[in-house]
């Protein structure tokens, strides 16, 4: 694995061709990818793990799968950042997603509306991805995009587990699946962002709770009401066990 770590201009994490390229990626984001966790699951560490950005150019076997590339990233972090972590379970505030009394309104996925994923090929980076019109969007993935009315989450042939993953990211808090739904569905969820969507990155062009247009009757409701009205599901605050990745030791890497 060839490594080149420096401070560039914008953030991207892109597994490709058996290797990995990152641009201005903070260590926290790299850890999210390498260990398969979300930002709220990382505990401890100095402030620079979020503020400092790094370039990494890692070249490996062109036949390496996406999962193998991320294991390579984990080894790189442990070597260059002297990263040592352990996992533990904590009781934390979470959300529970369940079906309303009137029943779920989930549209069955349509054939030909998306591109099947190749598990051994190049995949989009973990995290919010811009929505693309089919047939460009991979099946099973969820895109988050800014619209004139607010924010849209959209995807084709989406499993509840993937919706939960993206919803957890947007809410900045773990979401537990209590829907009992085992199939896939076509997702389109339109909502107006407010303080509840703590994990949603600032999306250019999207109105916010401080914008007068966000209170216009023609705009979508907040995410709680939107999930209930548009999907027949409900999101409720509760507490539950959450696996947390605790940073025991980390060091800034030397330039090369």
Which residues of the chain carry a pLDDT beneath 70? Answer: 1-18, 60-62, 117-136, 201-217, 255-256
Which residue's structure tokens are 């390496």? 64
- How far is the CA of 51 from the CAs of 7, 11, 28, 46, 199, in angstroms? 11, 11, 9, 10, 16
Give the pLDDT score at 112.
Answer: 72
Give the pLDDT score at 15.
Answer: 62
Residue 196 backbone phi and psi in degrees, to 5: -70, -30
- How far is the CA of 130 from the CAs of 66, 136, 138, 156, in angstroms? 20, 11, 12, 14
E-strand stretches of the chain: 12-16, 19-25, 42-43, 54-58, 84-99, 107-108, 143-147, 150-159, 175-178, 184-191, 233-249
Reference 220, options 161, 167, 153, 157; nearest CA is: 153
Over the stretch 158-195, which tens digit does the pLDDT of each residue have?
A: 999 999 999 999 999 999 999 999 989 999 999 999 98
Q: How far apart are CA 106 and CA 109, in angstroms?
A: 9
Give the pLDDT score at 23.
Answer: 84
Give pTM, 2 decimals.
0.70
């Amino acid at each position: 694995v060839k490594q080149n770590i420096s401070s560039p201009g914008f953030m991207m994490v892109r597994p490709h061709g058996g290797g990995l390229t990152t641009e201005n990626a903070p260590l926290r984001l790299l850890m999210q990818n390498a260990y398969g966790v979300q930002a709220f699951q990382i505990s401890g560490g100095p402030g620079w793990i979020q503020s400092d950005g790094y370039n990494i150019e890692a070249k490996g076997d062109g036949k390496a799968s996406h999962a193998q590339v991320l294991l390579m990233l984990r080894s790189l972090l442990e070597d260059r950042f002297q990263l040592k972590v352990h996992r533990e379970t904590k009781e934390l505030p979470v959300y529970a997603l369940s079906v309303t009394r009137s029943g779920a309104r989930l549209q069955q996925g349509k054939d030909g509306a998306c591109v099947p994923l190749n598990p051994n090929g190049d995949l989009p980076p973990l995290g919010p991805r811009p929505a693309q019109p089919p047939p460009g969007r991979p099946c099973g993935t969820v895109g988050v995009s800014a619209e004139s009315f607010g924010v849209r989450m959209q995807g084709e042939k989406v499993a509840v587990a993937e919706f939960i993953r993206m919803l957890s990211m947007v809410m900045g808090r773990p979401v537990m699946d209590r829907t009992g739904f085992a199939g896939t569905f076509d997702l389109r969820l339109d909502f107006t962002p407010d303080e509840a969507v703590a994990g949603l990155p600032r999306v250019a062009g999207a109105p916010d709770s401080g914008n007068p247009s966000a209170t216009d009757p023609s705009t979508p409701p907040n995410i709680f009401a939107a999930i209930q009205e548009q999907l027949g599901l409900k999101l409720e605050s509760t507490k539950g066990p959450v696996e947390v990745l605790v940073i025991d030791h980390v060091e800034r890497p030397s330039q090369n």
